[in-house]
Amino acid sequence: MRARRQLGYSLLEVIISMTIFGTFLAIAFALTAEMRMWERRLPVNFMRHPQIISVVARMRRDVQDVVLVGNNALYLDAHDGYVMGPKVLILQTGLETGSQIIVWDLSESGVVRRVSYNVGVKSVWTAHGVPPEFTAGAKLEAVEFPGRPYGVRLIAKDSHGLVSLDQILQPRSYE
């Protein structure tokens, strides 16, 4: 009986093709692993995040506009249930029509709130979509300059415990 002529690839051809394909796969996996390793070496840069940038910009302007409250204090200890602390900043800013009290609240995961109280009217600006590691590691501190009013320092650490954001905000100087 005569063997039928069968079209197709031989075992050797298939093995070689699979080997080449496997090599490509291995390269792709190696590159991906390398990329992840490199990206882990540096902290996530919060200064690239649009929500965080807007939070920092608005907070900077509020601290610049801060005005004296009674007893020569620039910041309030408490207001409307909020208590000043590492996650809460309470200040009073000047307006053309008077002043307003502003509370910055970083205590909720992934959300930053700016609550303003102007002549009894409360309005809230909320930054949604903030990375949870930002609010988890964010800390507000007082920063002292000799002979000058206290400033505010916003420090945030990423999930690896490395400082990724460190901003010093100062009240505006005026006579």
Partner 1 sequence: MLPMRDERGFTLVEVLAALLILTFVITSSLWAFLERNKRLQQASEIMLAYQALANEAEYVRRHDFANLGSYGDTFKSGPMLLAPLDDYETAIAVDLVKPGVKNVTMTIRWHHKEREARLGVIRVDTGGGSLF
Which residues are at the interface with partner 1 (CB under 8 A)? 3, 27, 31, 34-35, 38-39, 41-43, 45, 47-48, 145-149, 151, 155, 162-168, 170-175
Work out how close the CB of 169 gets to partner 1 at its nearest, in angstroms, rounded to a whole number: 8
* 135 vs 164, beta carbon nearer partner 1: 164
Task: Please report where in the chains the tokens 């490509």 appear, as a residue.
Answer: 24
Work out how close the CB of 89 gets to partner 1 at its nearest, in angstroms, rounded to a whole number: 17
* 64 vs 107, beta carbon nearer partner 1: 64
Work out how close the CB of 91 gets to partner 1 at its nearest, in angstroms, rounded to a whole number: 14
Cβ contact 156:141 at 8 Å: no
Give the Å distances, CA to CA, from 150 to 52, 63, 159, 163: 23, 10, 29, 22
Count of beta carbons in the 10 Å neighbourhood of residue 157:
19
Q: Considering just the CA atoms, what is the radius of gyration of the chain in Å?
A: 28
Work out how close the CB of 48 gets to partner 1 at its nearest, in angstroms, rounded to a whole number: 7
